[in-house]
Amino acid sequence: MTSLFSGRAGCFVPSTSFVRVVFRITVAAFVFQGLAISSTMAAEKAAPLKGLLITGGCCHDYENQKRIITEGISQRVNIEWDVVHEGGDGKEHQISVYKQPGWASKYDVIFHNECFGAVVDDKFVQSIAAAHHEGVPAVFVHCSLHSYRNAPVGADAWRELIGVTSRSHEKKRPVDVVRLNDDHPVMKGFPEKWPSPNGELYKIERIWPNCIPLAQAWGEDTKQDHTVIWLNTFGNARVFGTSLGHHNETMNNDVWLDLVARGVLWSVDRLAPNGKPMPGYEGSGVKPIVIDDTTPPAPTPDRKFSGDKASR
């Protein structure tokens, strides 16, 4: 066998074999370093996701909530937002962007936080669902579940898109949110039981076939559990939903924002198995969101819609 060393005693003279070994090690080191640099550069160069927030309507502080959502999610996810805030505090408004051809196609995800329960135009509502059916991901929070509930046919297209059917809610009170799935990436880091700062528990009447419940809460009025966090598939679209989020103190909470951020990432297939953003999709960093407490309170729902009837 040829020695790696040759020459006179006490004098190191590298043999041809030794030079080859060193060369191969050096090349391998450079290749590994290059791959690491390339991976880092790819992560750094990931283009921000493009999100559209739809908000406005009855019964909530949407002025502050649009800040909480866009700023809070951007702190956790590499995403840029367009915001459509329309309709005042009414229930019959039809969001203008929904009437534009291809309105959803330029976005990676649509975030629904609207509350327009008195819209009855079936074609209008069905067109929203159809846009998502083509594959544009969606996130639904709180009163978006009660939107478009009076559309005779369109309401069920909307509910199938969301994954659950709800027409009413219980009295306002904090709820204990119980985690049902420990392993799903969306629920990584979510407490086994989370006492929400405040709440308005939505009564879930139906869970649609493609819906996967992830958490539930006990209803003191109905004496039963109601799904409060879930995943859904609708056509080619991934959908994340939560009925939690009536009060600003619930929405502007790290547990809620962390959860919804993971839901956003899951909907666009950018959530790692450990519940963290995939490389390049990390946000700007979490910090407190100070909202304007002088904003007038949200309008009180009509009394005639209280109790077992939807109040939106």
Which is nearest to 267 in space by CA: 245, 226, 234, 243?
234
| Domain extents in the chain | 20-46, 48-267
Rounded CA gap, 310 and 71, in Å? Answer: 30
Amino acid found at 10: G
Query: For residue 200, what are the contacts with CB-CB under 8 A and spacing of at least 6?
Result: 142, 169, 170, 172, 246, 247
Tokens representing 91 are: 């229930």
In whole angstroms, what is the distance from residue 175 CA to residue 91 CA? 27
| pLDDT given for residue 25 in this prediction | 58
Cβ–Cβ under 8 Å, residues 88 and 56 = yes
- Per-residue pLDDT for the chain (312 aa), expressed as one digit of tens each? 444 334 444 444 555 664 454 456 554 554 455 444 444 544 566 999 999 999 999 999 999 999 999 999 999 999 999 999 999 999 999 999 999 999 999 999 999 999 999 999 999 999 999 999 999 999 999 999 999 999 999 999 999 999 999 999 999 999 999 999 999 999 999 999 999 999 999 999 999 999 999 999 999 999 999 999 999 999 999 999 999 999 999 999 999 999 999 999 999 999 999 999 999 999 999 999 999 865 554 454 543 333 434 444
Q: Determine the 3-state secondary structure of 176 from DSSP.
A: strand
Which element (helix H / strand E) includes 111?
strand 109-115
Decide yes or no: CATH 1.10.10.10 for domain 48-267: no
Q: How far is CA 56 from CA 28, 164, 222, 259, 270, in A?
A: 57, 21, 29, 22, 28
Give the tokens for residue 284: 């700007």
What pLDDT is attached to residue 146? Answer: 98
DSSP 95: -
Which uninterrupted H or E stretch holds 5? strand 5-6
Of 147, 163, 54, 94, residue with least CA distance to 155 = 147
pLDDT tens digit sequence for 71-127: 999 999 999 999 999 999 999 999 999 999 999 999 999 999 999 999 999 999 999
What one-letter code names the amino acid at 265? L
